[in-house]
Structure 1
């Protein structure tokens, strides 16, 4: 059965130790799930009965292509004006509760495992319609138009309906659930789910131009980030700068799964981003 960790906030007692696993370096950051407390939430204009944790935002000299939020919307809450940036595309991924996402005039009900891609400039609204709060990831990126290519079509899917693609030579121990066809070059970002079974590894230090946001949905593992081995578990977020070396060992006892963002399919800009 698929599992999706979501933060619920709260506040630690005065008896807790101050030490923790949070770290921010020149190459990567780790935000453990314990950092997602009531006092670290934000609010957004035109969102009702909603708070959010900002996991990533563009920062000069670090990761510059995307922002990622965990949204918490109370029953009946949501927005009729969710996005103020006409260049922003979005991926939503639901971890708890139920939402109705209307893209244009078409409503879609999303439950845990639900995925939606919303192209830039397309009107949408969102309401939490269940009896409990809805929690979901909202990943935003300014769309980079490519001459001769249209913007992508909207997509509404669910992880449960998609067969993971095994990585070659792993006998299924390392697999990726892809919501978008990798050959569709209209897309300039991919959001996937990576699954490693107990004992599986990413067997080399990946070093590449793509920036990453990795949110652990389930399980635990030891992740190599630049020169460090870091223990991570469900609810933790890893934020990787371009070219940060990375590898992974999934120790078990269950599967280790994470939601992964990366920027793809475009020329490297030759001028500084504005």
Structure 2
């Protein structure tokens, strides 16, 4: 099956558009619907040329504190030779439109739609759009938590089309995860995966756990349980969940897929 990926529509709504948006921010979650990701809320970064981005998650005291997530749009000729300023930051790049040239420690790679790269802390990398069309990617960043005696994971590049969906048992292959890192690989302290629910599939219980989440809907629509609320979500929406926010899901009439961040494999930080 060919996958498609949502990207921000940009532009601005017409002045006569009704103000009936779904944007929500409360004590347990934020919903950033696709309709609010417009030109007026874009940002820019040092040492990037012909590039803008939507910041959809950032560490926020008392809310979700472990990661940031950007949707980055790179115009033809754009990119950066110094993309990451923090030597302690690890990252994942996931391409949702166009084509990008990624260089890791001098080795070139071409990332097409569905392209995925893990970039450990301290990695020398560069990114460029050498085509005549804009390209967009998600960039998830986290401060890597070093553990004595555990190796820092190495960089790798793949494409989601090269990875299998691992279906949950007892779901008749209707709810599964495309994993880019094995769950028991203790070197990794974050996972950025893709969750797939076929039409009518469900997450049949309220997941309530310590991991923080970022969920960007790549495709389809669903009714999603967030804390005490059932909310409709669609391709291009972003859900940002703090730890222990209950969640569940009923998928819609077409395949529903989202890019999922979570922090894993480390002790909880203690305040003393």
CA contact (8 A) 2:9 2:34 kept: no
Measure the CA separation in 2 of the matches of 1:8 and 1:233.
13
Count of residue pairs the alignment pairs up = 271
Structure 1: state its 5+ residue gaps: none
Match of 2:268 in 1: 268
CA offsets, 1:53-87, max 9 Å, x none? 00000000000000000000001100011011010
Structure 1 residue 92 displacement after superposition: 0.3
Partner of 1:166: 167
Deviation at 1:102, TM superposition (A): 0.4
Q: List 4+ stretches of structure 1 deviating above 4 A.
A: none
What corresponds to 1:249 in structure 2?
A: 250
Deviation string 1:244-273 (CA, Å, 9 cap, x unpaired) is: 000000021x1000000000000001128x
How does 1:153-232 map onto structure 2 within 5 Å?
Answer: 153-232=154-233
| Distance (Å, rounded) in 1 between the aligned partners of 2:35 and 2:164 | 32
Q: Report if aligned partners of 2:163, 2:178 keep a CA contact under 8 Å in 1.
A: yes
Look up the match of 1:147.
148
- For 2:79 and 2:102, the matched residues in 1 are separated by 10
Q: Partner of 2:259 in structure 1?
A: 259
**1:116 counterpart = 2:97:** no
Any unmatched runs of 5+ in structure 2?
none
Tell me how far 1:19 sits from its aligned partner.
Answer: 2.1
2:70: which partner in 1? 69
Displacement of 1:203 = 0.5
Q: Write the distance in 1 (CA, Å) between the matches of 2:234 and 2:167.
A: 22
Please state whether the residue corresponding to 1:116 is helix, strand or coil.
strand
Q: Secondary structure, in 3 states, of the residue corresponding to 1:269?
A: coil
Question: What SS class does the counterpart of residue 9 from structure 1 fall into?
Answer: coil
Structure-1-length-normalised TM-score: 0.98
The residue aligned with 2:129 is 128
Q: Tell me what 1:59 maps to.
A: 60
Q: Which moved more, 1:229-238 or 1:17-26?
A: 17-26
What is the distance in 2 between the residues matched to 1:69 and 1:20? 21
Classify the secondary structure of the residue corresponding to 1:39: helix
Alignment TM-score, normalising by the size of structure 2: 0.98
CA–CA distance in structure 2, aligned partners of residues 226 and 138 of structure 1:
26
